[in-house]
């Protein structure tokens, strides 16, 4: 390390510490070992990943290991936290959860994470879905992330509200009503109009979720396949979908709510559907008291426009870890089929291993009206393509289209052309 | 070598005497050294280093790139988001600083009176300052919830439309400013109170004998006599206000100042550039631009306060008591 790199590290560490103090997060310490072989491994996760379901068991099986876990509230917080610590060259947990949305950025500095091939990941390579394993591999063939969950999507809906509006409410019928295997976005909005007309209430909470699902469905999303060329300006597929969403919002399909924290509104019956990637199940359930089974929520095996994957995490091991061997062992264990299945049972993120999926195939969710969630997600993950994400993917999602949908929801933009022009304007201001 | 101590030939000094002389000369510097060492480490060095970073194309994760001179400054100044953040910062600053100072002065004046349980009241006004900003945010987010907050309920009661606290620009600034005011009014009031306490009571008494009303005494005695402290409070509030970060960040934790950047302040803009957008060079340039803005604001404050002083017909001959100076160190980087 040259002097200027060191100085940079110090300065950035200072900035990172400032950021942490400012945002009120507790910094998690690195691992430390005492003489008798006791090892503390730190792990940072985010959202409802359900990984915590397995910590106790691991510590029981490995009495010399203590797991010190930090769970950050959202993917954005986890991303900023990881970036700051990578930049500082210090402070990263031994095991770090990485989201698909910013994996592309992490790949640019993949040297910050160990090559899991050195710790035997190749022996269990066939456990994972091909594309998931590939996503965790960088351009040089180093495997920097052990796949945890994937995000196949179905539609969460309120069976009770659907019934009250005279729509089918049984999940098989609902899926058919949306068009089953041939479901289209047009049909989705049509059903929405029916619901709004019959109930006088909004159909969905925010267009952001539907938009993201749509983008993830495309062969190429915000970026071309090379992961470098932007794929937005002049993209009529995206433009048409945006226009359709603006139309739906004008028709009162949306509840005009912000993207995420809408638990109270769910309870007040303000909307009836939610686009549900697997990890979203835990979030919806989290709005209600533990053990709730009569919320009215159900889960249908359908996605307008066909299958899509949205999100999913990886576990990486910090190159700066003092216990790489043990940390890698823990990461691989947490990402192994049996543990993925346990995480799924706890919080809903769908396993990315074939055997893990097999283990949860009979699983049902009492919260979602006993929906056979294991079976539905398995069906929903068929035909998923792993879209190439570019370095600014999450920035575009949050800062280009996010504000547009807020303005559309609040009635400040009412035609598709304007929405698109504004989006392109924002894009050129932010990514250029 | 003209002091009595130095006049002696060094050779005649014993070891103990030498040591005691060294102690006499060096100790004061050692006593004050910790502050300067700390200041150099966490104050001066980062400022200079930031200047260095701001001149390079510097990626957060990949590190130093090419030297680009002032390009980062130019691109920040040409960025509409910077000016949006600048406008928001000034707006939130004015919405917080002005009511804050007025209320603080009034509260201080009330507490300066002979009231019962004085200590209790004085302690109470500092209470909001002790509460962690995160807790403050939790409380205020409830109050300013567009759909479920008490204000929303009240408006509904009167059949009015809900205020879109987190979506519309001005309401969001009001909400954030109210968090700042809640937290800092009592703090400033205590500083002003300390200044008021230092005003000799006989000045009031003679004014009262001359027939001056309470209001007249407040305007003609209290305000002029606490002016140095007022200026101090104004300057520190300005620095704090321009650096505002915590409140708008907590107002919507998932974004960097609102989905549409309705309440993105300069420091939030800087944070967004540095972390999610990973452009450390431009973030550093923003930090320096903010630094310059703060210095300019300080100079303007200074000029205004001088103008007020010279505009005053009767030059005051009151001893300039500055009790607030005792509190100065803790004011550094407030709200950061």
- Specify burial of residue A60 (Cβ count, 10 A radius: 0-12, 13-18, 19+): exposed
| Distance of alpha carbon B190 from alpha carbon B122, whole angstroms | 7
> What is residue A183's predicted lDDT score, i.e. its pLDDT?
93
Determine, for residues A74 and B46 on separate chains, whether the beta-carbon distance falls below 8 Å. Answer: no
Q: Does B245 touch chain A (CB under 8 A)?
A: yes
pLDDT band for position A252 (50/70/90)? very high
Q: Do residues A194 and A104 share a domain?
A: no
Q: Which of A392-401, B44-53, B303-312 has the highest mean pLDDT?
A: B44-53
Q: Do residues A20 and A111 share a domain?
A: yes
- Which of A74, A80, A87 is facing B276, going by the closest CB pair? A80
> What is residue B310's predicted lDDT score, i.e. its pLDDT?
57
For A95, list phi and psi in degrees, rounded to 5.
-115, 130
Q: Is the distance from CB of A269 to CB of A239 less than 8 angstroms?
A: no
Determine, for residues A260 and B254 on separate chains, whether the beta-carbon distance falls below 8 Å. Answer: yes
- Which of B63, B79, B134 is facing A5, going by the closest CB pair? B63
Residue A365 lies in a domain: no
Q: Is the distance from CB of A25 to CB of A81 less than 8 angstroms?
A: yes
**Is the model more confident about B64 or about B11?**
B64
Rounded to a whole number of angstroms, the distance from the CA of A99 to the nearest CA of chain B is: 14
**Could you tell me which chain B residue has the CA closest to the CA of A74?**
B254
**Could you tell me which chain B residue has the CA closest to the CA of A407?**
B260
CA angle A338, A342, A348 (to 5 degrees): 125
Rounded to a whole number of angstroms, the distance from the CA of B58 to the nearest CA of chain A is: 10
**Could you tell me which chain B residue has the CA closest to the CA of A431?**
B277
pLDDT at B329 over 50: no
Q: CA separation (Å) from B26 to A287, B19, B22, B23?
A: 64, 10, 6, 5
Q: Which of A89-93, A159-163, A274-278, B62-66 has the highest mean pLDDT?
A: A159-163
Rounded mean pLDDT, A39-43: 95
| Distance of alpha carbon B295 from alpha carbon B114, whole angstroms | 40
Determine, for residues B274 and A15 on separate chains, whether the beta-carbon distance falls below 8 Å. Answer: yes
Q: B133-153 pLDDT, tens per residue?
A: 888 888 898 899 887 889 988
Strand order from edge to edge, sheet including A273-277: A273-277, A153-158, A297-300
Rounded to a whole number of angstroms, the distance from the CA of A49 to the nearest CA of chain B is: 18
CB neighbour list of residue B296: distance below 8 Å, 6 or more residues apart = none
**Could you tell me which chain A residue has the CA closest to the CA of B51?**
A11
pLDDT at A62 over 90: yes
- Does the complex come out with an ipTM higher than 0.95? no
H/E element, B59: strand B56-59
Residues 173-232 (B) with a CB less than 8 A from some CB of A: none
Residue A322 lies in a domain: yes
Q: Do residues A139 and A200 share a domain?
A: no
Could you tell me if residue A235 is left (phi over 0), alpha (psi between -120 and 50 degrees) or otherwise beta?
Answer: beta
Residues 42-81 (A) with a CB less than 8 A from some CB of B: 73-74, 76-77, 79-80
Mean pLDDT of chain A: 88
CB neighbour list of residue B165: distance below 8 Å, 6 or more residues apart = B144, B145, B146, B149, B171, B172, B175
Q: Is the distance from CB of A145 to CB of A119 less than 8 angstroms?
A: no
Most B-contacting residue of A1, A3, A6, A11 (CB-CB within 10 A), to test interface: A11
**Could you tell me which chain B residue has the CA closest to the CA of A106?**
B61
The residue among B164, B138, B168 whose CA lies nearest residue B151 is B164
Q: Does A406 touch chain B (CB under 8 A)?
A: yes
Residue A62 lies in a domain: yes
Q: Does B156 touch chain A (CB under 8 A)?
A: no
pLDDT band for position A21 (50/70/90)? very low
| Distance of alpha carbon A319 from alpha carbon A418, whole angstroms | 47
Percent above pLDDT 90 for chain B: 52
Other Cβ atoms less than 10 A from the Cβ of B158: the count is 6
Rounded to a whole number of angstroms, the distance from the CA of B274 to the nearest CA of chain A is: 9
Q: Does A19 touch chain B (CB under 8 A)?
A: yes
Residue A166 lies in a domain: yes
pLDDT band for position A73 (50/70/90)? confident
- Residue B210 CB-half CA count within 13 A: 10
| Distance of alpha carbon A21 from alpha carbon A325, whole angstroms | 31
pLDDT band for position B298 (50/70/90)? confident
**Could you tell me which chain A residue has the CA closest to the CA of B255?**
A398
Q: A264-305 pLDDT, tens per residue?
A: 788 889 999 988 999 888 888 888 998 889 999 999 999 999
Q: Do residues A421 and A287 share a domain?
A: yes
pLDDT band for position A432 (50/70/90)? low
Q: For chain A, what is the domain count?
A: 2
* Cβ neighbours of A80 in B, within 8 Å: 275-276
Q: Does B146 touch chain A (CB under 8 A)?
A: no
Q: Does B280 touch chain A (CB under 8 A)?
A: yes
Residues 12-51 (B) with a CB less than 8 A from some CB of A: 42, 45-46, 49-50
> What is residue A161's predicted lDDT score, i.e. its pLDDT?
96
CA angle A206, A212, A213 (to 5 degrees): 100
Rounded to a whole number of angstroms, the distance from the CA of A338 to the nearest CA of chain B is: 33
Q: Do residues A158 and A234 share a domain?
A: yes
H/E element, B67: strand B63-67
pLDDT band for position A144 (50/70/90)? very high
The encoded tokens of residue A272 equal 């009836």
- Looking at residue B158, the DSSP 8-state letter turns out to be T
* Cβ neighbours of A406 in B, within 8 Å: 167, 259-260
Q: Find the CATH number of the domain harbouring A89.
A: 3.40.190.10
Q: Does B81 touch chain A (CB under 8 A)?
A: yes
Could you tell me if residue B72 is left (phi over 0), alpha (psi between -120 and 50 degrees) or otherwise beta?
Answer: alpha
- Which of B46, B275, B277 is facing A84, going by the closest CB pair? B275
Determine, for residues A83 and B278 on separate chains, whether the beta-carbon distance falls below 8 Å. Answer: yes
Residue A378 lies in a domain: no
Q: CA separation (Å) from A429 to A79, A328, A425, B78, B210?
A: 22, 41, 6, 10, 66
CA A68 to chain centre: 23
Residue A226 lies in a domain: yes
> Between A and B, how many residue pairs show a Cβ–Cβ distance under 8 A?
86
Residue A368 lies in a domain: no
Q: Do residues A266 and A400 share a domain?
A: yes
Rounded to a whole number of angstroms, the distance from the CA of A20 to the nearest CA of chain B is: 11
* Cβ neighbours of A19 in B, within 8 Å: 271, 275
Q: Does A428 touch chain B (CB under 8 A)?
A: no
The encoded tokens of residue A195 equal 């619901």
> What is residue B313's predicted lDDT score, i.e. its pLDDT?
46
> What is residue A108's predicted lDDT score, i.e. its pLDDT?
87
Q: Is the distance from CB of A352 to CB of A312 less than 8 angstroms?
A: yes
**Could you tell me which chain B residue has the CA closest to the CA of A25?**
B134
Range of the domain at A206: 153-306+387-430
Most A-contacting residue of B56, B71, B147, B333 (CB-CB within 10 A), to test interface: B147
Determine, for residues A105 and B49 on separate chains, whether the beta-carbon distance falls below 8 Å. Answer: no
Q: Are strands B63-67 and A65-72 parallel, antiparallel or unpaired?
A: unpaired
Q: Do residues A347 and A412 share a domain?
A: no
* Cβ neighbours of B245 in A, within 8 Å: 22
* Cβ neighbours of B260 in A, within 8 Å: 403, 406-407
Q: Do residues A335 and A399 share a domain?
A: no
Q: Are strands A39-46 and A146-147 parallel, antiparallel or unpaired?
A: unpaired
| Distance of alpha carbon A256 from alpha carbon A269, whole angstroms | 14
Residue A373 lies in a domain: no
> What is residue B302's predicted lDDT score, i.e. its pLDDT?
82
> What is residue A93's predicted lDDT score, i.e. its pLDDT?
95
Rounded mean pLDDT, A328-341: 96
> What is residue B315's predicted lDDT score, i.e. its pLDDT?
46
Question: Helices A100-108 & A75-88, crossing angle to 10 degrees?
Answer: 10
Q: Are strands A65-72 and A39-46 parallel, antiparallel or unpaired?
A: parallel
Q: Do residues A297 and A226 share a domain?
A: yes
| Distance of alpha carbon A206 from alpha carbon A259, whole angstroms | 6
CB neighbour list of residue A138: distance below 8 Å, 6 or more residues apart = A107, A110, A144
The residue among A145, A108, A184 whose CA lies nearest residue A331 is A145
Q: Does B336 touch chain A (CB under 8 A)?
A: yes
> What is residue B2's predicted lDDT score, i.e. its pLDDT?
46
Rounded mean pLDDT, B23-27: 89
Q: Which of A299-308, B113-122, B129-138 has the highest mean pLDDT?
A: A299-308
> What is residue A354's predicted lDDT score, i.e. its pLDDT?
93
Domain boundary among A360, A379, A395: A360
Rounded mean pLDDT, B102-117: 90
Q: A84-130 pLDDT, tens per residue?
A: 999 988 899 999 999 988 898 898 899 999 999 999 999 999 999 99
The tokens 């990485």 sit on which residue?
A: A98
Rounded mean pLDDT, A398-412: 89
- Residue B292 CB-half CA count within 13 A: 9
| Distance of alpha carbon B249 from alpha carbon B257, whole angstroms | 6
* Cβ neighbours of B271 in A, within 8 Å: 19
pLDDT at A259 over 90: no
> What is residue B334's predicted lDDT score, i.e. its pLDDT?
45
The residue among A313, A327, A334, A314 whose CA lies nearest residue A119 is A327
Q: Does B275 touch chain A (CB under 8 A)?
A: yes
Determine, for residues B61 and A24 on separate chains, whether the beta-carbon distance falls below 8 Å. Answer: no
Q: Does A256 touch chain B (CB under 8 A)?
A: no
The tokens 């309920």 sit on which residue?
A: B153
Q: Does A18 touch chain B (CB under 8 A)?
A: yes
Determine, for residues B260 and A22 on separate chains, whether the beta-carbon distance falls below 8 Å. Answer: no
Secondary structure of chain A as H, E, C letters: CCHHHHHHHHHHHHHHHHHHHHHCCCCCCCCCECCCCCEEEEEEEECCCCHHHHHHHHHHHCCCEEEEEEEECCHHHHHHHHHHHHHHCCCCCCEEEEEHHHHHHHHHCHHHECCHHHHCHHHHHHHECHHHHHHCECCCCCECCEECEECEEEEEEEHHHHHHCCCCCCHHHHHHHCCHHHCCHHHHHHHHHHHHHHHCCCCECCHHHHHHHHHHHCCCCCECCCCCCECCCCCHHHHHHHHHHHHHHHCCCECCCCCCCCHHHHHCCCCCEEEEEHHHHHHHHHCCCCCCCCCCEEEECCCCCCCCECCCEEEEEECCCCCHHHHHHHHHHHCCHHHHHHHHHHHCCEECEHHHHHHCCCCCECCCCCECHHHHHHHHCCCCCCCCCCCCHHHHHHHHHHHHHHHHHCCCCCCHHHHHHHHHHHHHHHCC
- Residue B126 CB-half CA count within 13 A: 11
- Looking at residue B226, the DSSP 8-state letter turns out to be T
Q: Do residues A318 and A238 share a domain?
A: no
Q: Does B274 touch chain A (CB under 8 A)?
A: yes
Determine, for residues A394 and B259 on separate chains, whether the beta-carbon distance falls below 8 Å. Answer: no
SS3 content of chain B, % helix, strand, coil (to 5): 70, 5, 25
H/E element, B125: helix B118-130
* Cβ neighbours of B261 in A, within 8 Å: 403
Q: Do residues A40 and A87 share a domain?
A: yes
* Cβ neighbours of A403 in B, within 8 Å: 259-261
Q: CA separation (Å) from A291 to A187, A285, A431, B120?
A: 34, 9, 45, 46
> What is residue A260's predicted lDDT score, i.e. its pLDDT?
66
pLDDT at A195 over 80: yes
CA angle B188, B193, B198 (to 5 degrees): 135
Question: Helices B45-54 & A3-23, crossing angle to 10 degrees?
Answer: 110
Q: Do residues A423 and A275 share a domain?
A: yes
């Amino acid at each position: 390390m040259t002097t200027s790199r060191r100085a940079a590290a110090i300065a950035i560490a200072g900035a990172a510490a400032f950021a942490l103090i400012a945002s009120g997060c507790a910094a998690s310490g690195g691992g430390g070992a005492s003489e008798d072989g006791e090892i503390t491994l730190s792990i940072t996760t985010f959202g409802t990943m359900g990984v915590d379901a397995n910590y106790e068991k691991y510590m029981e099986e490995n009495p010399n290991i203590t797991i010190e876990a930090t769970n950050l509230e959202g993917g954005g917080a986890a991303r900023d936290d990881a970036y700051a610590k990578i930049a500082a060259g210090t402070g990263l947990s031994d095991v770090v959860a990485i989201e698909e949305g910013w994996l592309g950025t992490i790949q640019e500095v993949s040297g910050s994470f160990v090559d899991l091939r050195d710790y035997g990941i190749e022996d269990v390579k066939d456990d994972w879905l091909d594309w998931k394993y590939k996503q965790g591999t960088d351009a040089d063939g180093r495997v920097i992330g052990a796949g945890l969950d994937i995000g196949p999507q179905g539609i969460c809906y309120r069976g009770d509200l659907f019934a009250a509006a005279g729509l089918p409410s049984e999940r098989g019928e609902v899926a058919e009503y949306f068009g089953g295997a041939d479901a289209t976005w047009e049909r989705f909005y049509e059903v929405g109009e029916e619901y709004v007309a019959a109930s006088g209430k909004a159909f969905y909470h925010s267009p952001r979720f539907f938009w993201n699902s749509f983008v993830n469905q495309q062969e190429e999303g915000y970026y071309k396949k090379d992961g470098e060329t932007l794929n937005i300006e002049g993209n009529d597929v995206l433009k048409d979908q945006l226009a359709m969403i603006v139309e739906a919002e004008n028709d009162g399909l949306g509840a005009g709510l912000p993207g995420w924290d809408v638990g109270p509104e769910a309870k007040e019956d303000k909307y009836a559907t939610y686009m549900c990637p697997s990890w979203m199940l835990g979030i919806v359930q989290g709005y209600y008291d533990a053990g709730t089974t009569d919320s009215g929520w159900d889960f249908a095996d359908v996605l307008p426009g066909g299958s899509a994957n949205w999100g999913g995490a990886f576990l990486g091991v910090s190159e700066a870890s003092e216990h790489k061997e043990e940390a890698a062992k823990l990461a691989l264990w947490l990402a192994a089929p049996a543990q993925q299945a346990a995480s799924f049972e706890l919080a809903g993120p769908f396993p990315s291993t074939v055997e893990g999926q097999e283990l949860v195939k009979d699983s049902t969710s009492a919260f979602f009206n006993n929906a056979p969630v294991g079976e539905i997600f398995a069906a929903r993950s068929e035909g998923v393509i792993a879209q190439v994400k570019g370095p600014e993917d999450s920035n575009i999602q949050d800062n280009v289209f996010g504000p547009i949908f807020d303005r559309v929801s609040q009635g400040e933009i009412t035609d598709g052309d304007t929405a698109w022009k504004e989006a392109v304007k924002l894009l050129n201001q932010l990514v250029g | 070598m003209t002091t009595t101590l130095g006049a002696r030939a060094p050779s005649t000094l014993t070891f103990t005497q030498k040591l005691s002389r060294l102690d006499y000369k060096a100790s004061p510097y050692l006593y004050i050294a910790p502050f300067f060492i700390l200041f150099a480490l966490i104050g001066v060095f980062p400022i200079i280093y930031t200047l260095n970073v701001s001149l390079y194309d510097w990626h957060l994760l990949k590190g130093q790139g090419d030297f680009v001179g002032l390009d980062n400054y130019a691109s920040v100044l040409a960025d509409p988001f910077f000016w949006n953040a600048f406008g928001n910062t000034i707006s939130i600053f004015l919405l917080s600083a002005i009511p804050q100072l007025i209320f603080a002065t009034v509260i201080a004046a009330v507490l300066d009176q002979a009231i019962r349980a004085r200590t209790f009241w004085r302690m109470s006004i500092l209470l909001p300052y002790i509460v962690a900003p995160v807790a403050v945010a939790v409380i205020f987010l409830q109050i300013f919830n567009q759909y479920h907050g008490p204000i929303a309920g009240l408006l509904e009661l009167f059949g009015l439309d809900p205020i879109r606290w987190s979506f519309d620009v001005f309401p969001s600034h009001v909400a954030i400013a109210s968090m700042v005011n809640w937290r800092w009014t009592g703090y400033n009031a205590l500083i002003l109170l300390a200044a008021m306490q230092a005003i000799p009571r006989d000045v009031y008494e003679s004014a009262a004998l001359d027939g001056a009303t309470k209001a007249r005494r407040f305007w003609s005695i209290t305000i002029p006599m606490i002016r140095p402290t007022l200026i101090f409070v104004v300057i520190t509030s300005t620095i704090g206000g321009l650096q505002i970060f915590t409140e708008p960040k907590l107002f919507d934790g998932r974004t960097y100042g609102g989905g549409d950047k309705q309440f993105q302040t300069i420091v939030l803009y800087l944070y967004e550039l540095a972390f999610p957008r990973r452009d450390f060079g431009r973030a550093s340039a923003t930090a320096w631009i903010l630094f310059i803005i703060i210095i300019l604001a300080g100079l303007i404050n200074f000029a205004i306060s001088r103008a007020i002083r010279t505009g005053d017909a009767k030059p005051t001959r009151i001893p300039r008591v500055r009790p607030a100076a005792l509190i100065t160190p803790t004011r550094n980087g407030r709200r950061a």
